[in-house]
Amino acid sequence: MTGKHEVNSDDSTTGMGVRGYVRVARLYWRSIAVIAIVVTALVTLWGALQPRIYAAESSALVLTVGSENVNTLLTGDALAKSKIKNYESIAESRLIADQVIASVGLNTTADALLPTISVNVPVETAEIRITATSPDPVMAQRVADAWISELAKQVQLLESSVTAGQTSSPALPVGLVPLDKAVRPVAPISPNIQLALLLGAAAGLLLAYATALLRHHLDRRLRSSSEIERLFEVPVIGTLPYDPDISGTFKVLGTERHELQQTEVQNRAFIEALRALRTNLRFLDVDHRPRVILVTSPMTSEGKSTVAGNLAVTMAATGDPVVLVDGDLRRPRIAGAFNLVPGVGVTNVLSGQAQLVDVIQAPTVLSNLSIVGSGPTPPNPSELLGTNAMKQLLTTLAAGATVLIDAPPLLPVTDAAVLSRAADGVIVVAKAGGTTRDELERSLKTLHTVKASVLGVIFNCVPTKGVDSYAYYGSYLAAPDVSVSGNPDSTDSHKGAPKEIREAS
């Protein structure tokens, strides 16, 4: 172990890449869908509740009178186009607004009416267009027509005064002639429900995905085995799927004969995952195969006792002797799970009240598995587990068998850290969607502090559906297993073992 278990708190969002963003979308798709739908509905509802606005457009054309030849026509057209800009300014003035208010009989002011009027002059034309908006379609039509009419009157007065003041040859007369009268609108221009729907959907998706990214950044729970290996640089030696028959409660497969046939069918994925874990443990260090293995977890309820018990059964299936020791002196569970005599075990031996041979028990259907319970609860578990007597007990057991120790969690108490000094290696059980990065980091640092050898992490309760789910190829069934213990008679040594254990390779 080295001090390389520093986890980068920003690793959840930095350098994600396209696949990372897609993974976030798949992981939080339900909340993204809900937020997007709610935002879309709210925006659409807001748009639907807005007052209806109608628009009517009227137009006029600037014309010159008296054009008799081509030159005069060209001059008149240029004059009209130059005049139209001046008329545009007049059309946007309070003068016209006041005249329209008087002619139509509106109960408003020029400052209130002008924002409802739009004046537009198409490029390179002598046309002017007036668009009037109003909650009343009839009023919009009347105001648009009245605006053109009053503008034409004002242009006539202006051009008459200009012509009357000229002393030289008079210029071509210019006038504003109404072109198209406004049509009464039948559909509102606002609100635009379709546009509101599109904008709401876009805003909803952006907000929902931003929320998902924030949740992903703040969520410290471990979701995948690759995440553990990337952040902590420790191997994940086993991945166990969530099994409702096992993961929810502490249950050891195959402890009762009447469960065997049902277990083989219902829990096959879990059984195959245990077999893969057993194989990985064999090849961790071929030259120095660990004989005493401690199984622990960062916190409670992460499945370390379930893993220890079922792993012991699976390892015993090969014909090799296995001893399961309940090292959790505070909350022992092993004896109860195997239906053994409670209240006798480790503490009896350590206190000198009994010999090791007196407290070893064996399940009736598992001939290669022996179990040492925790015994009576002592007042000083940590001190008791750190004694030389405990080391001697484990050494004695390891002389003829592989020893698995079900230890307490690392963070609440120091028992597991103390006991790890007497073990050849430690396995840390992390729960998918339950164990946080900080908890696993602190646990690995604790083991590093006491110079324990961490064999790897077991990722437990991996979902069987959704993102980062456990992949089980159940359609490919292996042939019946053959014992690999090397003993020709080893097949007879566990005739009473469960069917799924007898088939273990």
Residues composing the chain: 505
DSSP strand pairing (360-361 vs 54-64): unpaired
258 and 340 both lie in a single domain? yes
Handedness of CA 410, 415, 416, 420 (dihedral sign): positive
- pLDDT per position as a tens digit, 462-471: 888 766 676 6
* Cis amide leading into 342 (omega within 30): no
- pLDDT per position as a tens digit, 434-459: 999 999 999 999 999 999 999 999 99
Residue 480: its pLDDT value, please? 44
Which token pair is 477? 């069934």
CB 110 within 8 A of CB 101: yes
What are the phi and psi torsion angles at 380 (to 5°)? Answer: -135, 70
Residue 2: its pLDDT value, please? 41
Q: Of 416, 403, 380, whose CA–CA distance to 304 is shortest?
A: 416
Which token pair is 45? 């509802």
196 and 229 both lie in a single domain? no
Instruction: Please determine, for residue 283, whether its predicted confidence score (pLDDT) is greater than 90.
Output: no
CB 309 within 8 A of CB 340: no
* Maximal C-alpha separation, the chain: 136
Residue 270: its pLDDT value, please? 86
Helix, coil or strand: residue 430: strand
**Quick one: CA torsion of 74, 79, 85, 90, rounded to 10 degrees?**
-140
| CA 228 from centroid of its chain's CA atoms | 17
Q: Residues 6 or more apart from 83 whose CB is under 8 A from it?
A: 62, 126, 174
Residue 258: its pLDDT value, please? 38
91 and 170 both lie in a single domain? yes
Residue 502: its pLDDT value, please? 34
- Give the C-alpha separation, 315 to 231, whole Å: 30
* Beta-ladder partners of 295: 406, 427
382 and 397 both lie in a single domain? yes
With respect to residue 397, please indicate whether it lies within any of the assigned structural domains: yes
Helix, coil or strand: residue 297: coil
Total H helices, total E strands in the chain? 19, 12
- pLDDT per position as a tens digit, 80-138: 777 888 888 899 999 999 999 999 999 999 999 999 999 998 888 888 999 999 999 99
Residue 259: its pLDDT value, please? 45
With respect to residue 211, please indicate whether it lies within any of the assigned structural domains: yes
Q: Residues 6 or more apart from 350 whose CB is under 8 A from it?
A: 384, 387, 389, 390, 393
117 and 261 both lie in a single domain? no
With respect to residue 288, please indicate whether it lies within any of the assigned structural domains: yes
Q: Of 246, 208, 189, whose CA–CA distance to 29 is shortest?
A: 208
What are the phi and psi torsion angles at 360 (to 5°)? Answer: -70, 130
Residue 364: its pLDDT value, please? 66
The Cβ-side half-sphere exposure at 151, using a 13 Å CA radius, reads 31
- Distances in Å between the alpha carbon of 34 and those of 46, 209, 339? 18, 11, 48
Q: Residues 6 or more apart from 85 whose CB is under 8 A from it?
A: 121
Question: Tokens 């748009």 appear where?
Answer: 47
With respect to residue 32, please indicate whether it lies within any of the assigned structural domains: yes
Q: Which residue has the higher pLDDT, 292 or 485?
A: 292
Q: Which residue has the higher pLDDT, 349 or 264?
A: 349
125 and 42 both lie in a single domain? no
Residue 478: its pLDDT value, please? 46
Residue 136: its pLDDT value, please? 93
Domains in the chain, number: 3
Residue 440: its pLDDT value, please? 95
Residue 82's identity, in one-letter code, is S
Supply the pTM of this predicted model. Answer: 0.65
493 and 370 both lie in a single domain? yes
26 and 72 both lie in a single domain? no
Residue 472: its pLDDT value, please? 64
Helix, coil or strand: residue 105: coil
Lowest-confidence range among 46-55, 93-102, 203-212, 478-487? 478-487
DSSP state of 55: E
With respect to residue 162, please indicate whether it lies within any of the assigned structural domains: yes
What are the phi and psi torsion angles at 180 (to 5°)? Answer: -125, 130
315 and 301 both lie in a single domain? yes
For 359, the enclosing helix (H) or strand (E) is helix 356-359
Handedness of CA 188, 189, 194, 200 (dihedral sign): negative
DSSP state of 436: B
Helix, coil or strand: residue 318: coil
CB 156 within 8 A of CB 25: no
Q: Residues 6 or more apart from 154 whose CB is under 8 A from it?
A: 90, 95, 96, 99
With respect to residue 5, please indicate whether it lies within any of the assigned structural domains: no
- Give the C-alpha separation, 455 to 284, whole Å: 8
- Give the C-alpha separation, 297 to 442, whole Å: 11
Q: Which residue has the higher pLDDT, 10 or 443?
A: 443
What CATH number should be reported for the domain holding residue 147? 3.30.70.1130
With respect to residue 504, please indicate whether it lies within any of the assigned structural domains: no
Structural domain boundaries enclosing 136: 54-180
307 and 161 both lie in a single domain? no
Query: What integer is the mean pLDDT of 405-417?
Result: 94
- Give the C-alpha separation, 461 to 303, whole Å: 8
Other Cβ atoms closer than 10 A to 270: 23
What CATH number should be reported for the domain holding residue 317? 3.40.50.300
Residue 15's identity, in one-letter code, is G
Query: Quick one: residue 451, left, alpha or beta (phi over 0 = left, psi -120 to 50 = alpha)?
Result: left
- Give the C-alpha separation, 208 to 39, whole Å: 9
Instruction: Please determine, for residue 245, whether its predicted confidence score (pLDDT) is greater than 90.
Output: no
With respect to residue 456, please indicate whether it lies within any of the assigned structural domains: yes
Instruction: Please determine, for residue 234, whether its predicted confidence score (pLDDT) is greater than 90.
Output: yes
160 and 250 both lie in a single domain? no
Range 26-32 contact pairs with CB under 8 angstroms and sequence separation of 24 or more: 26/466, 26/467, 27/212, 27/216, 27/223, 27/466, 27/467, 27/468, 28/212, 28/215, 28/216, 31/208, 31/211, 31/212, 31/215, 32/205, 32/208, 32/209, 32/211, 32/212
Residue 101's identity, in one-letter code, is I
239 and 208 both lie in a single domain? no
Which token pair is 104? 């139509």
Q: Mean pLDDT score of the chain, rounded to an integer?
A: 82
